Each structure stands twice: as structure tokens, then as C-alpha cells.
Amino acid sequence: MSKATERPARVSPDEAVSGLQTLAGYSTGSLYDEMFEATGLPRPAARNVAEQIASLPPSDVLSRQQAAERSFRDAGVTFNVYGDVQGTERIFPFDLVPRVIDAAEWHWIEVGLKQRVRALNLFLDDVYHDGRILKAGIVPGELVRSSTKFLAACRGLNPPRGVWCHVTGTDLVRDVDGQFYVLEDNLQCPSGVSYVLENRRVLKQVFPSVFRHSRILPVSEYPSRLLSALEALTPDPTRRPSVALLTPGMYNSAYFEHTLLAREMGIELVQGSDLAVLDGEVVMRTTHGPRRVDVIYRRVEDDYLDPLVLRDDSVLGVPGLFEAYRNGQVALANAPGCGVADDKAVYAYVPRMIRYYLGEDPVLPNVPTFVCFDEGDCAYVVENLDKLVVKSVNGAGGYGLMIGPQASPKERDEFRNKILSNPRGYVAQPTLSLSRVPALVDGHLEGRHVDLRPYTVYGDDVYVLPGGLTRVALKRGSLVVNSSQGGGSKDTWVLAD
């Protein structure tokens, strides 16, 4: 029996802690640790993982980490970094130690995500139709209409089944008090789910014994769930729909994900140049002539979908696509216009949306947010930059961000000027002490900050992928988990009830 498959000896919780301490000198400090309680004992949900790792010699743990990295490299699990002079394509960093969430806590997260996605969907439908929430003053109308992601061309659109956000990625963080908070919403083209699938595949290969002794909810059904939701959007339910995934191409940061999802769902992967609109229908060019496309899972951002209606310099989209969509000849997921809900200033009003549309209190709270569009908030922010995290409302990937306590006086002055010259473009939040998970660093375990991005599919019902993507800031002390800023990921386990 090989080392990779043999069953490690069971050890007591105290021995497990001792083993990990020997391996890493691991300490939770004053932060919330996802694996260990403040006493140093493993949390109940993570005890099995702690025991398994502690039962292995350090050399074995390291060899498994190296095996995981080889598997990622061999499978081509990559992401692209724009503007990187050393080359755009990198292997996605992976850490062997999983993050574990118990069943009761996950149930609460799942309920909160479903509530949030339903409210956001109602908000999108409202602002592109009657705008009741704007007229009622619950959300400032000027704030929404001034968003660079608000598409006037989407006014009056009626997506199939009334669903705008078919796939949502919601970023969650846990503070020192153990409470999960929503950090931001991603509704336009949320990415990262391919790494969830690959993380699970690789960890099962290199750490099979841990899975044998844990009841972990599967993630493998995500592609079939997504495909079912897409097929249900077909304009012609009398025949089997033709579904395609529209990608910007191989230089896009998420191209690996596009290829993986298309393969797993058994659908065509296409670029804008592969499609055309003929007689009002969207068709795909093939060696056997044009073939109709009924549903497009688009991974091209709103502005680039159709040069006739949106950005006229776009070469990524399809001329005439927007009209075909408006006329019901093709379905798009996610619906155009979703990006307005990604605006970090609009995010601040989601709790109000939940109360307005659903008549419920939010299950998952927002991080307290100061919207510089508001004069009072703006005045507070510019006077307290040393205490706050400042974000561009349209920033992504860890860019357009200033962490006040870690910034130099010069950097704070630069952001102060940016805010005062464009208040609408910035929000600020208190600096959270993000929870940590042990990560393998230079041969031993050290705590690293993490967030969590669960994925929600809105079809006939609302499905939440168990766990989602745990992103980890691999740089010591860093709070920025984005892969473009040196972050990686972990497998996320949700234990069965």
C-alpha cells in the first residue's frame, strides 16, 4: 500500500495539536482561526483534518503538496495576469490544507445567499422597469443611474423566466468575532468555480485517506446544475436547445475556466467571431453551415457584447446580438445589465433591497460601508483614511484598493485627492481582521488570511454550490487574496449534516 493511500493512525486531539505545533509552531494569535479554537484545540468540524495531518511526518505532507502542484501543472490549471512583463499565464497556487465548514453554519450561509440573490434579481428587474425602489428613495436613483455599469439599453428588457442573475459569486469574509459578512457581489461574469472543481479533484488524489474519514458534500454536480439552468432558458421548448459558452478568447484571465466548463457541460466554446445574426437568429459557423444557438452562457462583459448597441469598438461580441436577445430569439446568461449590482456603492444598499422586496431582515450582513457619493460619508472617509480600506467602485482583482493602516502618508494623500475629485467612484470600509487557515509555507504551517466565494445558480430553484472557492493570501500579513496579487486557493469542505 502506497503512502498516498495508506490509512494514517488515529491520534487524540491533544496529540493532533502537538503534531501540528511540531510541524509549524502554529499559533492562532488573536485572530479567528478556521481550524483551531483559541485554546489551541481543533474545532469539532476540523478535528479529523487536524488528526490526519498531525499523523503524517512533515516530509510526507510536503510530498503531497508537491504532488498537488504537479497535478495542477499537468492539467494546465492556470490564470492570466494582464500587464505582467514576465508572462501572462501562471499556474494557480494551491494549498493542501482544506478549509472546513460544519453543516449548521453552512445551512445559515446557504439561506442567506439565496435570500440575497433573490433580492438582487428583483432589484435588477425593478431598476430596468418601473424603478419603484428608486422612486421610494430606498436606493438613490442618481447613484444607480450614474453607475458606469448601468445600461440604459436594458430598460424594458424581460429576461426568460424573469431571471437576470443566473450565476452569482458572493464574496464572504469572517471577522475576528466569528461572524461572516458579505464583502461584495459578482453578478456580471463571476469567475473561479473551475478552481473549486479542480481543487477537489486534486485533493482527492493526493489526500484520499482524509476523504475516507470525512462526510464532505460533493461539488461535482455544479456543471450539470448550471447546464440545466441554461437549457431551461431556451426560446423554443419543443426541441433540445443548443447551448454555447461565449469566451473573449485565450488571453482572458479565466480562459482555463471557460474551456473546463464547456467541456464538463458538453457544450460548444465559441468566440464572437464564431457567431453571427442571420434573419434575427443567432447562428454558429460550422463546417456544415450555420447552426442555430438558443442559449449563450456569456463570459464577455456587458459593454463588449454587441458593437451595434454598446461599445462600437468591441471585437469580442456579436453585431445584432442585443436585438436578437430583446426579441426573444436567443437567451443570455447572465442577462445584460447585471453589472450595476456589482458596483460597490450599490452594494451598500443591498440590506435595504432585502427588506424592501422580501420584507425580511438580511441573514448575511454587509460589511459596514461608507459611500463617498454621500457628503457625510465622504467627509468621514477623508478624515479617517488611516483606519479604513478604500475601494474604487469598479475595481477588481485587488486593484484600485488602499488599506489605510498599511498605506504610507503619501498613498493616503493620493487617495484623498482621488476621492475629493470623484466621490462617486469610491467607498470605504473598516479594516477587518480576516479569519485565517493554516497554510503550508516553506515546509511548515502558518496562518494565512482567507475569504470565501460561494457560487449560486438561479434556475427553476436556487442552488448554492457547497463551499465555493476559498482564496488565501499566501503573503505573510497580506489581506489581499486575489490571485493577481499573489493569492492562491484551498479546497473548501462542507460537512454533511
The reported pTM is 0.91
Residue-level pLDDT at 23:
42
* pLDDT over 90 at 187, yes or no: yes
Q: Which tens digits make up the pLDDT trace of 123-173? A: 999 999 999 999 999 999 999 999 999 999 999 999 999 999 999 999 999
484: confidence class by pLDDT, cuts 50, 70, 90: low
pLDDT in tens, 279-325: 999 999 998 899 999 999 999 999 999 999 999 999 999 999 999 99
pLDDT beyond 80 at 22: no
What was the pLDDT predicted at 474? 83
DSSP-assigned letters across all residues of 420-471: HH-GGGEEEEE-----EEEEEETTEEEEEEEEEE-EEEESSSEEE-SS-EEE
Residue carrying the nine cell digits 448597441: 309
Residue 79 pLDDT level (bands cut at 50, 70, 90): low
Residues 230-244: tens digit of each pLDDT = 999 999 888 899 999
**Mean of all residue pLDDT scores within the chain:** 89
Which helix (H) or strand (E) segment holds residue 124: the answer is helix 103-127
Match 460537512 to its residue by C-alpha cell.
495
Instruction: Tell me how far apart the alpha carbons of residues 315 and 304 are, in angstroms, rounded to a whole number.
Output: 7
Residue 24: pLDDT band (50, 70, 90) is very low
Give me the pLDDT at residue 73, please.
87
Kindly indicate the confidence band of residue 87, based on its pLDDT and cuts at 50, 70 and 90: very low
Q: How far is the C-alpha of 488 from the C-alpha of 494, rounded, in Å? A: 19
Q: What is the pLDDT of residue 1?
A: 36
Which DSSP category does 355 fall into?
I
Alpha carbon distance 171, 455 (integer Å):
9
**What are 299's three cell numbers?**
463570459
pLDDT band at 433 (very low <50, low <70, confident <90, very high): confident
Domains of the chain as residue ranges with CATH: 107-184+221-358 (3.40.50.11290), 370-430 (3.30.1490.270)
| Amino acid 398: pLDDT | 58
Which residue(s) pair with 99 in the sheet? Answer: 492
pLDDT value of position 11: 35
Cis amide leading into 80 (omega within 30): no
